[in-house]
Amino acid sequence: MSTQHGNSDTKPPSGSGSRLYDLLCAEQPYWNRPSDADSTPWNFRELWKSSGAKERLEKLLKESGNGVCADCGTPDPKWVSLTLGVFICIKCSGVHRSLGVHISKVLSVKLDEWTDEQVDVLVNLGGNNVANNKYEALIPENLKKPTPDSSNEERADFIRRKYEIMQFFDGNKHDPHSHQRTSSSSSQGSLSNLFSQDKRQYEKQLTRHRIGQKFRSSWGRRDSDNHKSVRKSNSLAGMVEFIGMIKVNVVKGTNLAVRDMVTSDPYVMLTLGQQSVKTRVIKNNLNPVWNESLMLSIPDSIPPLKVIVYDKDTFSHDDFMGEAEIDIQPLVAAAKAHERSEIQESMQLGKWVASKDNTLEKDGIITVTDGKVKQDISLRLQKVERGVLEIELECVPLTQ
């Protein structure tokens, strides 16, 4: 996909902004400077609704065992597997995402908006100590857990054996979802919906547990072969190095294509490398407003962010409603430069210029707002008769 960045008629910023641009242009030589320091307005959600839940979450972080990553021991974890009930570091969170949301749904402690129901899930699951007592009950003496300095391949190997294959889980002593089923039977309203698929998920975990038992039963004879088998099961996403996270807020669609007689039931699928996430389905709407934030790990190779819109069908395959690609390398370069600059003032960093050669409906402005590097993007959907998708991107470095 062809892209253009900046404008040849622009004037360089002065003062601290100029110092930031020296760093930015060193990181991304083809970058051109914007014409002014005006920032594109951003539509932020009201955070007060989740403030109570965030306070409870912070208290959970201070409980015994939750102050370090459940998988590698890195202090002060800022990520959570809501499915497994563990606090994890950003490096391990990338591996968890590669497992799929059916095994581990990852949220950020600080970047995501939390509800009381989600915090209730964590409370019921018990935290890092309870989870590790279950999933690490049968770790052999000759196997060491990853450390904060372990490679991503070592993390991926251990995390997949721990949660996907359940090789170390003692099913005779522990029920991995007993807390969830107890909460589901006693809770009311929206919380009960969080556990509506609990039985099916538990059966899947039991299946993985049986696989783990087969691995353990042959340790004495074929431990090295088993280790190789687990390594082969690691996906490419689990073994790549991640350089940060990208927060994608899918804002809305406009004039989307009709796929069900006179309307559609659209949802958006995002893919970055081997990772995929999707929004909720909005029924009977050609101008849907999702305003839904999703997180993806950024691989070191920085592939394009692929966006596909589908129409949800109950009795057949989902219908295609258009696609687009986003080059996120300029946004990542801007975030790296800003992180080194220590500049917090709001300013415009540059823009991805709309043209006939790309899918932009209008210029994609990159700004620093409240110390965060963000980009507004309006996309013309491709390979479809019509449709525009509005997205907000935020690049999150590994330090957060």
- For the stretch 240-292, pLDDT in tens is 677 888 999 999 999 999 999 999 999 999 999 888 899 999 999 999 999 99
What pLDDT shows up at residue 3?
43
Give 359's pLDDT tier (boundaries 50, 70, 90).
confident
Give 53's pLDDT tier (boundaries 50, 70, 90).
confident
| 301, pLDDT greater than 90 | no
| 202, pLDDT greater than 50 | no
Give 236's pLDDT tier (boundaries 50, 70, 90).
very low
Query: Domain 50-164 falls in which CATH fold?
Result: Annexin V; domain 1 (1.10.220)
By CB atoms closer than 10 A (0-12, 13-18, 19+), residue 74 is: buried
Strand partners, 86: 81
Token duo for residue 26: 């060193």
Query: Domain 242-396 falls in which CATH fold?
Result: Immunoglobulin-like (2.60.40)
The percentage of residues in the chain with a pLDDT greater than 70, rounded to a whole number, is 68
What phi and psi, each to the nearest 5 degrees, are found at residue 236? Answer: -60, -35
Please count the CA atoms within 13 angstroms of the CA of 310 that sit on its side-chain side.
15
| 162, pLDDT greater than 90 | yes
Order of all β-strands in the sheet with 388-397: 289-299, 242-254, 388-397, 372-380, 364-369, 347-352
| 185, pLDDT greater than 80 | no
- In the chain, where are the structural domains located? 50-164, 242-396
Please give the Cα distance from 184 to 192 (Å, whole number): 5
Least confident of 99-108, 205-214, 327-336, 382-391: 205-214
Cα distances (Å, whole numbers) of residue 318 to 211, 250, 256: 32, 19, 15
| 207, pLDDT greater than 60 | no
What pLDDT shows up at residue 49?
42
| 194, pLDDT greater than 80 | no
Q: How many residues does the chain have?
A: 400
